[in-house]
Chain A
Amino acid sequence: MKKTYKIEVDCANCANLMEEAARKTPGVQIATVNFMTQKMIVEFEEGHEPAGVMQDVVKACKKVEPDCEIFL
C-alpha cells in the first residue's frame, strides 16, 4: 500500500535524513521525501498496518530532525 503524507521540514539535507530514517523503519518498503512539495510518500510492506508503522516513522524522523513535522 502506498500513502502520501504532508510534512514540514526546513532544509533539504534534513529531508534526506528523514527519508533515510523512514526507509530503515520496519514495515516500510520504500519511502521518498519530496522536499519541494513537502510530501512523504511511503510504501508499506504487506501485513503491516500503516497507522502503526507511521508512528515509528514519526519517531525515527524526530530523532534525526527534531524540527520536522509529519501530518498523519
Chain B
Amino acid sequence: MQELIVNILLAAVALLAAVLQLIGQKSSSGMTKKQKVMLWRILAATVLLLGLQSLGTSVFDSLGSSGRWLRLALYLVDYLVIGYDILRKAYKGIRNGQVFDENFLMAVATLGALALAVYENGDYLESIAVMLFYQVGEWFQSYAVGKSRRNISDLMDIRPDYANVERDGKLEQVDPDEVDIGSIIVVQPGEKVPIDGTVVEGASTLNTAALTGESLPREVQTGDAIISGCINMTGLLKIQTTKAFGESTVSKILDLVENASSRKSKSEDFISRFARIYTPAVCYAALALAILPPLVLMLGLGQSPAWETWIYRALTFLVASCPCALVISIPLSFFAGIGGASKAGVLVKGSNYLESLSQTRIVVFDKTGTLTQGVFEVNGIHHNEIENAKLVEYAALAESASSHPISKSLQRAYGKEIDRSRVSQIQEISGNGVTAVVDDHTVAAGNDKLMDRLGIPYISCYSVGTIIHMAIDGQYAGHIVISDLIKPTSRQAIQALKSAGVYKTVMLTGDAKQVADQVAEELGVDQVYSQLLPADKVEKVEELLARKRGKEKLAFVGDGINDAPVLGRADIGIAMGAMGSDAAIEAADVVLMDDDPMQIAKAIKISRKCLGIVYQNIVVAIGIKLLCLVLVALGFANMWLAVFADVGVMILAVLNAIRALFVKNL
C-alpha cells in the first residue's frame, strides 16, 4: 500500500516538473535559469527513481552477488543527480568553517539513511525521496519568494519608463533621465507624469492614487505645479520640468521604499540571531538523540541498544529542523507590509519604523497644518448691518495693498478680481489695521485698537480667531472672524487613533491659549500646550518622552515645514501632506503623502497588521518545528513527514506574509 502511494507521489512530482518546465519556457513566468536547471534535475531523478522502483529488487537478485552492487550504483547515480549540489555546498561549508547550515543537515540525514540502507541492503528509496522532496520544497520556496518579491515590486512600481519630448514637431519618447531641467515635456491622457514641473499648457484631471492612496481625482490647469507619479486622465498637458528625474518625487519615493527593508527591525534581528544559535543546537540535539538513548538502553536497562532506530530518528530530526520558513517569511512580511503601506500613501522608511509604529501609544500633533488646514479663512461675520458679501468686499478692497495672511484670506473670501481703481487713500496703521476710501465711502478695517483710535464703539466677539472690526463712514458695520479651519476629518482621526490603542493625544501649538484650548476641546485631544516657540516643542516632546512607560512609543505628527527637529527627536516622526516637499521626506521616518489626518490611524493599523503577521509566522513556524522535533524524537514521525512539515510550514508562512500587502480595508 505504501509503495503504491509513493509511486503515485513520484509520478505526480514528475508530471508537475514537466508542466512547470513547459510554463518556464514562457518568459513571463519569471523563472531563473537556475530554477529551470533544477526542474530538469527533479524530472530526471524522479523518472529514474520510478523506473528503478518498478523494476523491483527481484531483477537484481537474479544477477547474483553483483546485482546488489549494481542496484546500489544505479540508486547512487539517482541520488547524485538530485543531490550533488547539496553535498557540494555542505562540503564547502565545512571547509569554510560554516558547518551547521541546512545543506549540512540534509547531507548528513540523507547520507546517513543511505548508509543504513546499504548496510541492510534494504530500501534506498527513502533517502533519495527525502532529498527529492527537499529539493522540490526548495524549488517552490525560491520560486514563491521570487514571484512574490516581484509582485510586490511591481505593485509599487510607479516608475515612469519614458518622457515625451517634442522635437521638430514630432513627439519622441526619451529616457526621463535624459530630460534637462526646464525642458518641455508632453503628457498624454493615460500616461504617467514622469518628472516634477509646472503646467504650461492644457488642463486635465490627475489620478494621484499611486502616490497618496487617495482615489479622488485632482484638477490641474496652466500654471499649476505638478508632481511626477500622477496619472494624467483626461487632457493633454505640456509641462515645463522644474527638477531632474533623479530629484523628482517619484524617484525619491521609489528610492525610499526600496531602501526601506535595509533598515532591519528587531524581529528580523531576532530571527537572524535565532538561526545562528538554532542550527548548531539542533545538530547537537540530533547527535545526542543518536547516542544517548541507545547507551542508556544498553548500559542502564540492559536491553539491546537498537542503534539503527535511534540513528534513523536522529537523521529524521535533522530533516525536520530546517529553519527556512522562519528565516524567509519575516523579511518577506515586512517587505509586503511596507509595500502595502506605500500603496495606501503611507511611506515607511524602514522595517524598524514599521515595528515602532505598531507600538505607538502616544501621538503628539503639531496643530497648524496637521489638524487644521494651516490656511486662514473667514469663519464668521457678526453684527453686520449690510450684506455679508458686501462687508467682505469692502474689507478685501481696503486690505488690497497688504500681503499679510489675513488680508490674503479676505481677498480669497471675496473671490473676485480686485479692482484697485475703486480704492484710494489707503493708510496702514501698523498693529491696528487700515483705513481707505472705497467707492467714496471711508472704510476702516482693523482690531479693537483701531476702533478705539477712531472713537467708534464696537461689539467684542466671543469666537476664537482674529477679529476684524469694520466701520463704514464712521459707523460700526460689524466684524469678520478669521480663523484657521479644522480639517473635516480631524475629530474622526483622533477617535480612530483612540480605537487603535493610542491612549494619549497631545497637541502642540504656537497659537494663543484661547484658540488652542477651543480647538483641542472640539477635537477631543487629551492635552494641549500652547504659545510654544519651535524650540519649546522639542522640549515638550522630550518631557513626554521621559514620562512614557516601557516599550510604548511616541509619534510626532507635523507638516514637516518648521518641525524637522521635533520629527527627529520623537521615536517616530510622521510628516503629512508631504507630496512634493523634499524637506519633510528627508526629516520624517514615516511620510503620509496625503494631508488627511485619518492616514495616521491607518498607518498604525497597517503596522499592527504587519507585525501581527510577523508574530504569527514566528510562533507558528517555531511551534510546528518544535512539535515535529518532539514527534520525531519519540518515534511518531518518519522522514517523509519531516520533509512535508518543513515544506508545508514554509509555504504557509510565505502565503501568510503576502497578506501584509492587503491593507485596503483597514
Contact = CB atoms under 8 A, between A and B. Distances in A.
Interface of A: 8, 10-13, 16-17, 32, 34-39, 41, 63-64, 66-67
Given A11-B328, A12-B331, A16-B272, A37 B89 contact: no
Contacts of A12: 145, 327-328, 330-332
A41 B255 CA distance: 13
Nearest to B98: A64
Contact of B261 (A8, A37, A63, A64): A37
A41 B350 CA distance: 15
Given A34-B262, A63-B96, A66-B92, A13 B153 contact: no
B526 to A, nearest CB: 39
Main SS of the interface on chain A? mixed
Interface residues of B, number: 29
B458 to A, nearest CB: 64
Interface of B: 32, 34, 88-89, 92, 96, 98, 101-102, 141-142, 145, 149, 152-153, 258-259, 261-262, 272, 275, 323-324, 327-328, 330-332, 335
A53 B14 CA distance: 45
Contacts of A39: 258
A13 B324 contact: yes
A10 B327 contact: no
Interface residues of B, dominant DSSP: helix
B210 to A, nearest CB: 19
Contacts of B141: 11
A59 to B, nearest CB: 11
Given A12-B328, A36-B261, A64 B335 contact: no
A55 B261 CA distance: 25
Nearest to A66: B92
Given A16-B272, A36-B332, A66 B258 contact: no
B38 to A, nearest CB: 10
B259 A11 contact: no
A12 B101 CA distance: 13
A36 B89 contact: no
B262 A11 contact: no
Nearest to B35: A10
Contacts of A32: 262
Contacts of A13: 101-102, 272, 275, 323-324, 327-328
A64 B149 contact: no
Contact of A66 (B88, B272, B324): B88
A10 B142 CA distance: 6
12 contacts: A12-B328, A13-B102, A13-B327, A32-B262, A35-B261, A36-B261, A36-B335, A37-B261, A41-B262, A63-B92, A63-B96, A67-B34
